[in-house]
Amino acid sequence: MEDVLDVYVRPYDPGVPVVCMDEKPYQLRVNARRQRTRLDWAEEVDQLLTCDYPDAKKVVLVMDNLNTHTIGSLYERFEPTKAHKLAARLEIHHTPKHGSWLYIAEIELAAPTRQRLDRRIADLDILNDELAAWQQTTNHDQRQVNWHFTTSDAPNPPPPPIPRTLAATLY
């Protein structure tokens, strides 16, 4: 737990961005996929490093312990030289099991569900349109996460939230 909390209190560094990734059926950067395999995760990491943050020296990636979230997934998807280059630019931090209360990605990804996606959307194109509209509004408002819980609070963490019944799948 302290590992993730220490990441959250780091000063902002545009050369080393902190990105939280979760496996919802959508993302804040709007790219819904039908599935969430190891190869899908590897492609998302490639997109993150080569398109979203091409100039970053390193990207700090905070995510849960899903079995697809491994460096080995990069080697399954890409040839070894590319996989190694991608892996070398990652600094991975996993949230603890049952630690969703301190997982910024999961907290933030609940927002579009509450605000716009409170129904089943079977068509992927419609889902992506809905997500794009939500993202545009959210980016326009420039809402930010103001994290208060620190490692000094860790001995007495808040109680875990009531379990969600949302299906979780990112990419």
Beta bridge partners of 91: 60
Q: Tell me what percent of the residues of the chain surpass a pLDDT of 90.
A: 24
- Whether the pLDDT of residue 137 is over 80: the answer is no
pTM flag (> 0.75): no
Q: Tell me what percent of the residues of the chain surpass a pLDDT of 70.
A: 60
Question: Cβ distance 18 to 60 under 8 Å?
Answer: yes
Q: Which residue stretches of the chain are H helix? A: 2-8, 38-47, 71-77, 80-88, 104-115, 124-141
pLDDT at 4: 81
Span 58-83, pLDDT tens digits:
999 988 777 777 899 999 999 999 99
Angle at 22 between CA 19 and CA 27, to 5 degrees: 80
Q: Nearest CA to 167 among 125, 110, 126?
A: 110
Question: Cβ distance 77 to 45 under 8 Å?
Answer: no
Angle of helix 104-115 versus helix 124-141 axis, rounded to 10: 110
Per the prediction, the chain carries an average pLDDT of: 74
For residue 161, the tally of other CB atoms under 10 A from its CB is 11
Span 89-129, pLDDT tens digits:
999 998 877 655 555 555 666 666 666 666 777 787 887 78
Average pLDDT over residues 160-171: 38
Q: What's 2-153's CATH class? A: alpha beta
Angle of helix 80-88 versus helix 38-47 axis, rounded to 10: 60
